[in-house]
Structure 1
Amino acid sequence: MTSLGYARVSTLSQTLDQQEDALKAAGVERIYSDRMSGTRDDRPGLLALLDYARAGDTVTVVALDRLGRSLTGIIRTVDDLQSRGIVLRSLREGVDYSTAVGKMVAAIFGALAEYERTLILERASAARDAAKKRGKPLGPARKFTDRQAATALQMRRDGRSIAEIMGMLKVSRATVYRVFDQAEQAEALQEASRA
């Protein structure tokens, strides 16, 4: 009987440390992990865990939503584990899913996770629609201003090197080249419109 654990974060910039610490504190011997969205079914860490786990083993997660974002996906994983005689525990909810009450709670928490995800998507969609109606640009705020772009272009005309421009404006090489490319495209459009 092995105590297994599963940890997941959605992006590469997030860390697994907190989940791994909690799983180790709960006595987990072997931890599998993924750095990808819970909506994906091809998570290698989860697939390896499911392949390794045997009847009598215990699989522990920090929270039920680590198994997936959709109610269907979570229930499918829980059902798979239970049908194979593998016990599932969730630390946050404090529930052992091998019991009848645990199965009921698993369904409730799965539904809440799906509901929360739906709300996030609806809010994001509404915010995008509102921004479009107001003519506001979508995506992250621009970090490089038009004034900085004009300064970069003038510095280049004055014969400054890319390294000097990067150092003075405190931007990456890619940003400097993007400004130059955008300026060239704008000049090409102006010339085409004159012809």
Structure 2
Amino acid sequence: MLIGYARVLKSEVQDAVEQIDALNAAGCEKIFNETSTGGRWDRPQLKQMFDELRPEDVVVVTALDRIASSLGDLFGILDKIDNCGAYFQSLKEGTDTSGDSGRKLMQMVQSIGNFERAKLRTRTAEGQEAARARGNGGGQPPKLSPAQQREILDMLNAGRSAADLARLFRVHRATISRLAAKARRRDSVERINVH
């Protein structure tokens, strides 16, 4: 079955009528029409299409930018389509993953996708290492200063509740609970080392 996918961003002035007409002309029996906020994951019609996709189906779009917002996004979507045993076709670019040449195209796309992911992992690791070398361990800065943490632990030991302290210091209760658990672990290790 030929399944069409049309997408228009809310920031665009056009509507999906041209895309839908082109997909109907291409022989699509079902069309998923997405009005996207532009967010990569806020696409319920794409999700529904994947839920209904069956082996040998062909996902048809008018252009690659209608289904993907980046090269990485395109690789991920093509991979999902391939994992369903389905095929992909883009009318504007003449891309068609069915047949021998289509399988070779998918292998090439997957290889490029793997290369891009490996490159991203390498750059991320290098960035983290450089941050550690500068004395920055990465991640978000602590919500509470060391002085605030000591004060909270003292107040907990004096009988104040975690919920009360969370409101007082304007943090989530889980932050207080994690701090208390970390202090308990540290205290138990110190007791073990003393004996």
Q: TM-score range by the shorter chain?
A: 0.5 to 0.7
Question: Structure 1 residues 192, 114: CA separation in 2 closer, same or farther (over 3 Å shift)?
Answer: closer
Partner of 2:177: 177
* Separation (CA, whole Å) in 2 of partners of 1:6 and 1:47: 17
Partner of 2:159: 159
Runs of 5+ unmatched residues, structure 1: 8-16, 35-44
Q: Percent identity?
A: 20
TM-score by length of 2: 0.56
- For residues 1-195 of structure 1, what are the structure 2 equivalents within 5 Å? 2-5=2-5, 25=16, 26-27=19-20, 29-30=31-32, 31-33=45-47, 46=50, 48-51=52-55, 54=57, 58-60=59-61, 62-63=67-68, 65-66=72-73, 68-69=75-76, 74=79, 77=82, 81=86, 88-90=88-90, 94-98=92-96, 112-131=112-131, 136-137=136-137, 139-195=139-195
Number of residue pairs matched by the alignment:
159
Query: What letter corresponds to residue 194 of structure 2 in structure 1?
Result: R
Preserved CA contact (<8 Å) 1:162 1:176 = yes
Which deviates the most, 129-138 or 148-157? 129-138
Instruction: Give 3-state SS (helix, strand or coil) of 1:29's partner.
Output: strand
CA root-mean-square deviation:
4.5
Question: Structure 1 residues 137, 65: CA separation in 2 closer, same or farther (over 3 Å shift)?
Answer: closer
Question: Structure 1 residues 96, 148: CA separation in 2 closer, same or farther (over 3 Å shift)?
Answer: farther
TM-score by length of 1: 0.56
* Separation (CA, whole Å) in 2 of partners of 1:65 and 1:50: 23
Instruction: Give the drift of 1:115.
Output: 3.6
Instruction: Give the drift of 1:89.
Output: 4.0
